[in-house]
Amino acid sequence: MERYETPDLRVTLYKNGTSIRDIANEKVKDEDQDEPKREDVDDPFYLYDLGDVVTKDKLWAKLLPNVEVFFAVKSNPDPVIIRLLIGLGKSFDCASKKEIKMVLDLGASADRIIFAHPYKQESHLRFAKEKGVRLMTFDTAEELQKVKRVHPKAQLVLRIRYDDSTATFKYGSKFGCRGEEVRPLLEIAKKLGLDVVGISFHVGSESSNPQIFRDAIRFTRPLFDIGTSLGFNMKLLDLGGGFPGRLYPKATFDKFADVITRALDEHFPASSGVRIIAEPGTFHTRSAGYLVANVIAKRVNKVDINERRERVSDGDEPFIWIYYLNVGVFSGLNGKLFDPEYFDLPEPLHEPLRNRDLKPSTIFGPTCDSNDVIMANCMLPELDTGEFVLFHDMGGYTATCACDFNGFSLPPTWYIAPKEIRLVLEKTFPAQ
Ligand SMILES: Cc1ncc(COP(=O)(O)O)c(C=O)c1O
Q: How far apart are CA 360 and CA 336, in angstroms?
A: 19
Q: Pocket of ligand 1, candidates 205, 206, 209, 212: which has the most ligand atoms within 8 Å of its Cβ, to mutate?
A: 205
DSSP string, 413-424: EEEEEEGGGHHH
Claim to verify: residue 77 and residue 155 sit in the same structural domain? yes
Say how many domains are in the chain. 2
CA-282 nearest atom, ligand 1:
9
Position 59 scores a pLDDT of 98
Q: How far apart are CA 389 and CA 385, in angstroms?
A: 11
Using the Cα atoms of residue 397, residue 401, residue 405 and residue 410 in order, give the sign of their dihedral: positive
Claim to verify: residue 251 and residue 352 sit in the same structural domain? no
Position 340 scores a pLDDT of 74
Claim to verify: residue 241 and residue 350 sit in the same structural domain? no
CATH number at residue 110: 3.20.20.10
- Amino acid, single-letter form, for residue 96: S
CA-397 nearest atom, ligand 1:
9
Distance (angstroms) between ligand 1 centre and the Cα of 135 equals 16
Q: Which residues pair with 177 in a beta bridge?
A: 160
Claim to verify: residue 157 and residue 251 sit in the same structural domain? yes
Using the Cα atoms of residue 75, residue 21, residue 311 and residue 330 in order, give the sign of their dihedral: negative
Claim to verify: residue 280 and residue 302 sit in the same structural domain? no
Claim to verify: residue 175 and residue 88 sit in the same structural domain? yes
Final residue of a structural domain among 252, 286, 320: 286
Claim to verify: residue 56 and residue 26 sit in the same structural domain? no
Contact 418, 397 (CB under 8 A): no
Position 110 scores a pLDDT of 98
Q: How far apart are CA 280 and CA 238, in angstroms?
A: 11
Claim to verify: residue 33 and residue 55 sit in the same structural domain? no
| Phi and psi angles of residue 286, each rounded to the nearest 5 degrees, phi first | -55, -50
Q: Which domain holds residue 427?
A: 1-50+288-432
Measuring CA to CA, how many Å separate 135 from each of 115, 162, 194, 195, 319? Answer: 6, 21, 12, 10, 57
Using the Cα atoms of residue 243, residue 73, residue 18 and residue 413 in order, give the sign of their dihedral: negative
Position 353 scores a pLDDT of 55
Claim to verify: residue 271 and residue 312 sit in the same structural domain? no
Position 149 scores a pLDDT of 98
Final residue of a structural domain among 286, 320, 350: 286
Q: Which of 94, 368, 378, 401 is catalytic?
A: 368
Q: How far apart are CA 267 and CA 137, in angstroms?
A: 22
Q: Pocket of ligand 1, candidates 202, 208, 334, 393: which has the most ligand atoms within 8 Å of its Cβ, to mutate?
A: 202
Position 354 scores a pLDDT of 61
Q: How far apart are CA 205 and CA 29, in angstroms?
A: 37
Ligand 1 pocket check for 242: Cβ under 6 Å: yes
Claim to verify: residue 150 and residue 276 sit in the same structural domain? yes
CA-283 nearest atom, ligand 1:
11
Position 170 scores a pLDDT of 82
CATH number at residue 353: 2.40.37.10
Final residue of a structural domain among 228, 252, 286: 286
Distance (angstroms) between ligand 1 centre and the Cα of 413 equals 23
Claim to verify: residue 71 and residue 156 sit in the same structural domain? yes
Is 378 noted as a catalytic residue in this protein? no
Distance (angstroms) between ligand 1 centre and the Cα of 228 equals 27
| Residue 199 three-state SS | strand
By the 10 Å C-beta count (0-12 exposed, 13-18 middle, 19+ buried), 265 is classed as exposed
pLDDT in tens, the chain (432 residues): 799 999 889 999 999 899 999 999 999 987 777 777 788 899 999 999 999 999 999 999 999 999 999 999 999 999 999 999 999 999 999 999 999 999 999 999 999 999 999 999 999 999 999 999 999 999 999 999 999 999 999 999 999 999 888 777 788 788 999 999 999 999 999 999 999 999 999 999 888 899 999 999 999 999 999 999 999 999 999 999 999 999 999 899 999 999 999 999 999 999 999 999 999 999 999 999 999 999 999 999 987 666 554 444 455 558 899 999 999 999 988 877 777 778 888 999 987 656 678 899 999 999 999 889 999 989 999 999 999 999 999 999 988 888 889 989 899 999 999 999 999 999 999 987
Distance (angstroms) between ligand 1 centre and the Cα of 194 equals 25
Claim to verify: residue 73 and residue 34 sit in the same structural domain? no
Ligand 1 pocket check for 280: Cβ under 6 Å: yes
| Phi and psi angles of residue 277, each rounded to the nearest 5 degrees, phi first | -125, 165
